[in-house]
Structure 1
Amino acid sequence: MSSYVLETENLKKDFKKITAVESLNLKLKKGKIYALVGPNGAGKTTAMALMLNILNPTSGKVKIFDKYSKVHPEVYLKVGSIIENAHFYKNLTAYENLKILSLLRNDDEDIEDILNYFSINSKKKFKNFSLGMKQRLAIAASLMHKPDLLILDEPINGLDPFGIIEVRDIFKKLSKKYGVTILISSHILSEVEEIADELIFMKSGKIIEEISKEELYKKLGSFVEFEVSNIKLAIDLLKKEGLKEDLDFKVENNKLKIYSNFNKRSEFNELFVNNGIKVNKLYLANESLEEYFNNIMR
């Protein structure tokens, strides 16, 4: 048995004289959030469509849950997806649209619950939805059958800031608590940085770099520096949180420099304070992901 939820093997897609995806080899692990990042025309949407069997590859194979998807299409019953724009029946309500999906899957899903969770009016017709509400309905549709794998093309497109935070928290919970594997594409680098465990940079149909967020921060020279009243106790607390000295953090000039778990800086600060440690200084050194993105794309 493979330890990967999704694998692509030399996946390629040609459109006449244009190669949209070339030699795509991905291996996604259970419970991780992956972000497919690249400029318009990089091949992100085409790659996802190939994974979902919406497009036929010119060559190569897709394996999901250790089964080749062409031979075992039933694997897609455990996959949730959004590709490009939300597609629903315009003259049907939100409830009616989700009910059709439920009947097609032969599932007994609580549609009202998922609509209430996303604050969607079940009786409102899709044609009267705003862009943000359409995207909320698309996310609700991708989640209502409790999938083990999510493949989402621009899932936060059109959402307001509160909606983005809400969806981000949902994805993190699905990943960490329920072990759902998530592959998203996005142009919003700040959100990608916030949510993803692994970043996959794509250009001209090819993967040019795949890197974990911790490795990226080290590469960028990013770190959080704490100046605290009791450095020994602070070190012990970090170790109890699973961080390893010299790998995740270092002590330099009687100051703590934390290189991993970068987005937990506020939690570390709270941890120190709750344990009687005074935080005299907190310094954030964070080079721009946008600059890194621009450089790697060149």
Structure 2
Amino acid sequence: MDYILQTNSLIKRYKNFQALNGLTMHVPKGSIYGFVGKNGAGKTTLIRLICGLQTPTSGNFTLYGIRSNTKDIIKSRRRMGAVVETPSVYMDMTAEENLKQQYLILGLPSYDGIPELLKLVGLENTGKKKVRNFSLGMKQRLGIAVALAGDPDFLVLDEPVNGLDPQGIVEMRELILKLNRERQITVLISSHILDELSRLATHYGIIDSGRMVKELSAEELNAACRKCVRMEVSSTTILARILDSMNLEYKILSETKADIFAKVNVTRLIMALEKENCEVISMQEKDESLESYYISLVGGGFRD
């Protein structure tokens, strides 16, 4: 697989705190990579390292195949755009003026691309309105427009929906999907709002205390979280034999518990178990979310 970003045993240590503890991750080209973890897990630290805002204590990473400890990493970083923590925009300027300023910083030869960028992020009709009077969602979208000014093919977003109202969240989701699908931009999104992330991501990296706990694709997550019937019986040995005879897919969890991944004719199954003197203790539908999957891996919720 072709990876835009790979990190290798990254460690970032501050005086009395280790933010990253041997972090290894892989962001596939063309993906929307959901970087999952509670506040303080190390997400923003990783983003700061790949953006060149800080340097690792040890370990390294590659960006477009270029190692972080070589001078060519600067060229690789020109191919990425980022919004880290809060959008870097000028409050006393309009959206257009902000983009002109970014074009000047990047040394771009003309402003011809600005109207298209404003339209792309839904800010084409803001005119002379100063950014200080924008909603939070508008500021976030302007931050993305600024990050896109250099025409990057890798976009890094740090908690892009944090604090947004429901309408702002929908607008941000649609924009990210559009950038990925229509412009083939690879997107790395750090977030702890997992319900929203599950509507976007094609791949996930689950981080806890500066370590990568699990990397998986959306398909693998769906398989892990798919609907099933959780049965508790007196003997899963007997249950397995009956399920085999019914050609039903299942997974034995213990001597008394099993998950059945199929639509079950409950009456028929219970009657068959009763004939074999196998007692049914409980049955319940199970549909695990990304959040409950995260908790099953690392424990606890999302508060520090």
Same fold, TM exceeding 0.5? yes
CA RMSD of aligned residues (A): 2.5
Decide whether aligned partners of structure 1 residues 254 and 97 sit closer, same or farther in structure 2, where only a CA change above 3 A counts: same
Q: Which residue of the partner structure matches residue 63 of structure 1?
A: 62
The answer to whether the Cα contact below 8 Å between 2:19 and 2:210 also exists between their aligned partners in 1 is: yes
Deviates more, 1:54-63 or 1:108-117: 108-117
Question: C-alpha separation between the residues in 2 aligned to 1:60 and 1:42?
Answer: 18
Decide whether aligned partners of structure 1 residues 137 and 20 sit closer, same or farther in structure 2, where only a CA change above 3 A counts: same
The answer to whether the Cα contact below 8 Å between 2:102 and 2:149 also exists between their aligned partners in 1 is: no
Q: What are the equivalent positions in structure 2 for 1:101-250 lying under 5 Å apart?
A: 101-107=102-108, 108-109=110-111, 110-120=113-123, 121-222=126-227
Question: C-alpha separation between the residues in 2 aligned to 1:89 and 1:169?
Answer: 25
Decide whether aligned partners of structure 1 residues 285 and 151 sit closer, same or farther in structure 2, where only a CA change above 3 A counts: same
Aligned residue for 2:61, secondary structure, equals strand
| Higher radius of gyration, 1 or 2 | 2
Question: C-alpha separation between the residues in 1 aligned to 2:95 and 2:263?
Answer: 59
Aligned residue for 1:171, secondary structure, equals helix
Please give the TM-score of this superposition, normalised by the length of structure 2. Answer: 0.72
Deviates more, 1:157-166 or 1:41-50: 157-166
Decide whether aligned partners of structure 1 residues 124 and 179 sit closer, same or farther in structure 2, where only a CA change above 3 A counts: same
Q: What is the aligned residue count?
A: 243
* Per-residue deviation, 1:253: 7.3
Identity %: 39
Q: Which residue of the partner structure matches residue 4 of structure 1?
A: 3
Aligned residue for 1:26, secondary structure, equals strand
The answer to whether the Cα contact below 8 Å between 1:200 and 1:209 also exists between their aligned partners in 2 is: yes
Return structure 1 stretches of 4+ with deviation > 4 angstroms: 251-255
- 2:42 aligned with 1:43: yes
Question: C-alpha separation between the residues in 2 aligned to 1:139 and 1:133?
Answer: 10
Aligned residue for 2:189, secondary structure, equals strand
* Per-residue deviation, 1:294: 2.1
* Per-residue deviation, 1:23: 0.9
Question: C-alpha separation between the residues in 2 aligned to 1:136 and 1:173?
Answer: 13
The answer to whether the Cα contact below 8 Å between 1:156 and 1:167 also exists between their aligned partners in 2 is: yes
Question: C-alpha separation between the residues in 1 aligned to 2:132 and 2:183?
Answer: 34
Question: C-alpha separation between the residues in 2 aligned to 1:60 and 1:106?
Answer: 33
The answer to whether the Cα contact below 8 Å between 1:201 and 1:209 also exists between their aligned partners in 2 is: yes
* Per-residue deviation, 1:252: 6.2
The answer for unaligned runs of 5 or more in structure 2 is 229-248, 250-260, 266-284, 300-304
* Per-residue deviation, 1:129: 2.4
Q: Which residue of the partner structure matches residue 52 of structure 1?
A: 51
